[in-house]
Amino acid sequence: MKRNNSTRRMKFINAAVNKLIFRPRKDDRMFPIIDYCHNPVEGCLHGCIYCWARKKAKNKLKNTSFRPQLNRKKLKERFKPGYLIFEVDNGDLWGDWVPREWISAVLGYVRKYPKVYFLFLTKNPARYHEFLDYFPENAVLGATIETNRDDLYKKYRISRAPLPSERYRAMKELDWDLKIISIEPILKFELERFVKWIVDIDPVIVFVGYDNYNNRLPEPSLAETLKLLDRLEHITIVVRKSIRRAWYESLLNFDFYRGGER
């Protein structure tokens, strides 16, 4: 399959932009282009400190351990042509612990709906490379990269997932034309380096947003984020999700924090 297909890329951009324009936005926590979240696999072992899905699993889904599991019944759901589905948001389908058979079952299902887009999102995009020959053309391959700073990631023990720089390399080397990046929840970053990462990855859309769950993460100031947004908007389509002042800016005088941790 030819993977660098600009027609396919434009078609997806049109579909996504149409959803952005014509759909009333209800909730900044959701990706605004998504029609439905489909979770044949739930659970995750990355252990991100800000994980909302783990809390949801404990409170609503009765999966208190957040142990990964496949629900084959979900692979019988049907979708209308033109839908854009977030495939597995209650976990990470691409974690190293996920058996190949589960992923193959999900890809087989995705293949049955060629007129529906399926958006995948992972913190382990290296695993996409294992399946590159099996992805159908309606697969959109995404990665969360909250920052370019591995040091910050380690210092605050943000997650056990591969470091941001590892995700960047995996996405940059991924030979696929429909890629997206989620910078959410955004963490402090180095502007020039982070922008270069996005240029190298060449995503069709970048989503940017602050943490929605009051986790007091090491966030950039609003001014820093606005600079990043401005630069990214010259590169690709940028969807702004929850854009606000950093939590500490709301508490204290902004000038006090300008000399804060870099």
Number of residues that bind ligand SF4 (CB under 6 A): 12
Dihedral angle sign, alpha carbons of residues 183, 188, 191, 196: negative
Phi-psi category of residue 51: left, alpha or beta, with phi > 0 → left and psi -120 to 50 → alpha: beta
What single letter denotes the amino acid at residue 32? P
Q: Cα–Cα distance between 252 and 218 in angstroms, integer?
A: 15
CB of 43 or CB of 177, closer to ligand SF4: 43
**Residues in region 58-97 near ligand SF4 by CB under 6 A:** 91-92
Q: Could you tell me the smallest distance in angstroms from the CB atom of residue 184 to ligand SF4? A: 10
Q: Could you tell me the smallest distance in angstroms from the CB atom of residue 86 to ligand SF4? A: 12
Q: Are 119 and 86 in contact (CB under 8 A)?
A: yes
Q: Cα–Cα distance between 219 and 211 in angstroms, integer?
A: 9
Q: Could you tell me the smallest distance in angstroms from the CB atom of residue 160 to ligand SF4? A: 8
Q: Could you tell me the smallest distance in angstroms from the CB atom of residue 124 to ligand SF4? A: 8
Contact pattern for ligand SF4 over residues 110 through 129, marking x by CB under 6 A: -------------x------
CB of 12 or CB of 120, closer to ligand SF4: 120
Q: Could you tell me the smallest distance in angstroms from the CB atom of residue 123 to ligand SF4? A: 5
Q: Which one, of 193, 192, 183, 240, lies nearest residue 217 by Cα?
A: 183
**Residues in region 19-58 near ligand SF4 by CB under 6 A:** 44, 46-48, 51, 53-54
Contacts of 110 (CB under 8 A, 6+ apart): 87, 118, 136, 138, 139
184 binds ligand SF4 (CB under 6 A): no
Contact pattern for ligand SF4 over residues 202 through 231, marking x by CB under 6 A: ------------------------------
Q: Rg for the chain (alpha carbons), in Å?
A: 18
CB of 1 or CB of 49, closer to ligand SF4: 49
Q: Could you tell me the smallest distance in angstroms from the CB atom of residue 159 to ligand SF4? A: 6
Q: Are 238 and 228 in contact (CB under 8 A)?
A: no
Contact pattern for ligand SF4 over residues 144 through 183, marking x by CB under 6 A: ---------------x-x----------------------
Contacts of 23 (CB under 8 A, 6+ apart): 32
Q: Which one, of 182, 95, 96, lies nearest residue 147 by Cα?
A: 182
Q: Could you tell me the smallest distance in angstroms from the CB atom of residue 29 to ligand SF4? A: 12
Strand pairing of 41-42 and 69-70? Answer: antiparallel
Residues near ligand SF4 (CB under 6 A)? 44, 46-48, 51, 53-54, 91-92, 123, 159, 161
